[in-house]
Amino acid sequence: MRQEKLIKAVAVLPKGLETEGAAELKELGALAVQPLRKAVAFKIDMAGLYRLYIQARLPFRLLREVTRFPCHGPETLYYGIQQALNWELWLPPKLSFRVDISGHASTLNHSHFTALQVKNALVDAQRQRWGKRSSIDCKAPDLCLHLHLGQEEAVLSLDGSPGSLHRRGYRPAVGIAPLKENLAAGLIRLTGWNRQIPLVDPCCGSATFLIEAALIASCRAPGLGRTFCLKHWLDFNPVLWQQEWSRAQSHKLRQPLPQLVGWEVNPLVAEQARTNVSMAGLSRDIIIHTDNLSRLQLPQTAGVIVCNPPYGIRIGHETNLRSLYSSLGAVLREQGSGWDLWLLSGNPGLTTALRLKSCRRIPIDNGGLNCRWMHYVIR
pLDDT in tens, 343-359: 999 999 899 999 999 99
- The predicted-structure confidence for 174-186, as pLDDT tens digits, reads as follows 656 679 999 999 9
Average pLDDT value for residue range 194-219: 96
| Confidence check: pLDDT of 2 > 50 | no
- How confident is the model at residue 62, as a pLDDT? 98
From residue 354, alpha-carbon distances to 8, 72, 246, 294, 351 in Å are 46, 54, 46, 13, 6
172: confidence class by pLDDT, cuts 50, 70, 90: confident
Q: Which amino acid is at 287?
A: I
Average pLDDT value for residue range 80-105: 96
320: confidence class by pLDDT, cuts 50, 70, 90: confident
CA atoms within 13 A on the CB side of 205: 19
Average pLDDT value for residue range 284-309: 95
Neighbours of 358 (CB within 10 A): 17
- How confident is the model at residue 254, as a pLDDT? 74
311: confidence class by pLDDT, cuts 50, 70, 90: confident
DSSP category for residue 105: B
Average pLDDT value for residue range 274-278: 95
CA 72 to mean position of chain CA atoms: 33
- The predicted-structure confidence for 99-118, as pLDDT tens digits, reads as follows 999 998 888 889 999 999 99
- How confident is the model at residue 188, as a pLDDT? 98
- How confident is the model at residue 177, as a pLDDT? 61
Nearest to 269 by CA among 280, 259, 277, 257: 277
> Residue 130 — φ and ψ, nearest 5°?
-115, -15
Q: Which amino acid is at 352?
A: T
**Could you write out the DSSP letters of every residue in 329-346?**
HHHHHHH-TT-EEEEEES
* Of 147-161, 241-255, 362-376, the least confident: 241-255
244: confidence class by pLDDT, cuts 50, 70, 90: very high
Checking 107-112 for CB contacts under 8 A at 24+ apart, the result is 107/72, 107/73, 107/74, 108/71, 108/73, 108/74, 108/77, 108/149
- How confident is the model at residue 313, as a pLDDT? 55
Partners of residue 371 on adjacent β-strands? 364
317: confidence class by pLDDT, cuts 50, 70, 90: low
